[in-house]
Structure 1
């Protein structure tokens, strides 16, 4: 790791830029991918697992429908779980892209675009309530009961 100083005569500034070895850059990128992909894969595959196991359980207890019909029924019933997993992936992509960019940019060169991208990267954590709770009937019902009980306590 080493640092360089660059004189920027247009903006009358001096930039300090840190350079990392190839190993540290590769390690950083690997850790970023692991912290991005592993939770998202666990989330998605657990949703698929829940759907398949529920369909299998309903198939053994209810012999009127085939496993494929039960699977389609469970997919329709648990659609919010799959949609929320996919939404989290889509909303987390800007954070992944920004964290993997290693190039420098001039501070006056399209700062609004980078600022918007930076704030978009926080959307998944800010929208967890809307993504998971409000899209699921069961979770939404429990959420409403919790809110009602909180208001009853205040009165």
Structure 2
């Protein structure tokens, strides 16, 4: 086998490894870079061998062993509760300051109210006797000005002058 073929095989394996490293640390998911890396590494392994049948057998055995060890590792992870240490199990309680969307705020959409404080752009308005924290579309609204609710996103209520 010539020196050119050996260097080509080594280059293919190195580029394959580089592609896989890029896929793992730079590009999320298993995409084009990962697939290219696997193909380049397999091609490099096939190029470096003297017998094509022997190299393909080694490649198939390697892939099979990889799948078996991966499945074994996942099974051991479940048995030893490894996944519980890797996954985030914290809850987002309201006592800790987390709040979910409030369905009653959706009822405010299109309703009119009066600015209680200066809205620059955040402040408070009174709608149907209830004081509600709101934001404007970006403008400044004086206290006592009439406003209308134009958007509700989660717990964020957006108003504009009416």
- The structure in which a higher percent of residues are strand is 2
Q: TM over 0.5, yes or no?
A: no
- The structure in which a higher percent of residues are helix is 1
TM-score, scaled relative to structure 1: 0.25
